Amino acid sequence: MAFWSSTSVFTSKVPRKILFMFTLSLSVTYLFYSLMSCYNSLRFPLQENYVYQGRLVTEDTTFGTLREKLYSASQGFAEFTEADGSTAAPTARDHADADADAERRTVEWIRTQASPTKPAAAAAATAPEHQERQDFSTTDSELRVNCTSDYGEKRLPQAIIIGVKKGGTRALLEALRVHPDVRAVGNEPHFFDRNYEKGLDWYRDLMPSTLEGQITMEKTPSYFVTNHAPKRIHSMARDIKLIIVVRNPVTRAISDYTQTLSKKPEIPTFEVLAFKNRTLGLIDASWSALRIGIYALHLESWMQYFPLSQMHFVSGERLIVDPAGEMAKVQDFLGLKQIVTDKHFYFNKTKGFPCLKKPEDSSTPRCLGKSKGRTHPKIDPDVIRRLHKFYKPFNMMFYQMTGQNFEWELEEDSESRSSQD
């Protein structure tokens, strides 16, 4: 009785408001220590978390942070390789059994305030339980791949390198892949010439994941000489951007032959294949190595579906002599910030063409493989002279169609003077 009496006296003397505030402060203190004890479970490993070190991050700042990291990766000459796998970030659900009621309410409030983007929310929802947490000390190259695959989505290409074979398309693609806003499939899909019946869903699935603002690309040089490719590409995306790397057609033909010779040593000589009748000087324009170089003929088909404003022609010769200059034009055409500059290249004397400078975390430079830069067989100078004469009217027509002079005739004059010396 005495106890209940004293309790009633105490409660009567202490206002209920103070009791309520006291109880609330205890609850808040308990909640604070609960959150501190599970702090590691509430944070994500990368800086693009929606809550990072007690700071709310909105959708805009999240993607801004991603973009900054991608640019810094490029500036550090990070090595970019094709990586299709992705690791989803661990979520607070992995620790949901701890202090269930209080923590669940807190996490829900945090998620509501942070407003995560749809791709990130999907990645978090599909993360396997007890997944090993990534360390924050991720290298720049890993960060680029992980961020893109976690937060991006597969899209059809907005730009395609459509030609030409042995013109320098691989070198161009590898240089473009250094840019943080370009994501390109490594292998040639050959969708519009060999695999069209598989459908656009199959084609899209080949593409790497991209963030909003990044460009999806692919390259298949045979598109340029495929009759039905222009119509098919136009039906997919009439506003797509097309890149064509062209090279002196005579040099290109010899390079094409050299590649075939390395695979089939038993084939006839270049001189034999180039002529229907060498005595009469009849050149065999049906031979694919020579037919590809009639650029004006192939360009005519593309201009039926696309304006020149959606095409960009890269000089294969200048891509070797001045790769940074050609890359500046390509980046402008694609609407990209000029990230890939002369500091990304060095001239490899053994290969005879530029290579990308080695990444800081690699002991070897980034250079094209053994299939590039092969030594050409010696060709009869008279055959080369006749081929230059054959291509000259087609080259003039190509210059007129594109509004660009690639000056291939100057090479012919130089070779003529060398043969006379």
Find out whether 167 is annotated in a ligand binding site.
Answer: yes
Note if 118 is an active site residue: no
User: What is the distance between the alpha carbons of residues 205 and 153, in angstroms, rounded to a whole number?
Assistant: 10
CA distance 63 to 150: 12
Q: Is 204 annotated as a binding residue?
A: no
Is 152 annotated in a binding site? The answer is no
Q: Would the annotation count 417 as a binding residue? A: no
- 369 appears as a binding residue in the annotation: no
234 is in an annotated binding site: no
Q: Is 388 annotated as a binding residue?
A: no
Alpha-carbon distance of 396 to 82, in angstroms, equals 40
- What gap in Å lies between CA 282 and CA 62, rounded to an integer? 64
β partners of residue 353: 348
Phi-psi region of 368 (alpha: psi -120 to 50; beta: other; left: phi over 0): beta
What single-letter DSSP state applies at residue 224?
G
The residues, any chain, with a CB within 8 Å of residue 325's CB and separated by 6 or more, are 318
Phi, psi of 67 (to 5 degrees): -60, -40
Flag whether 372 is marked binding. yes
Q: Which of 69, 118, 165, 166 is catalytic?
A: 166
Q: Is 255 labelled a binding residue? A: yes
Residue 186 CA to residue 174 CA, distance in Å, equals 9
Find the angle CA(418)-CA(420)-CA(421) to the nearest 5 degrees: 65
Tell me the C-alpha distance between 282 and 102, whole Å.
Answer: 87
Q: Is 144 annotated as a binding residue?
A: no
- Tell me whether residue 199 is annotated as binding: no
190 labeled binding residue: no
> Known binding site for 3'-phosphoadenylyl sulfate: residues?
166-170, 247, 255, 372-376
> Known binding site: residues?
166-170, 247, 255, 372-376
Q: Which residues are catalytic?
A: 166
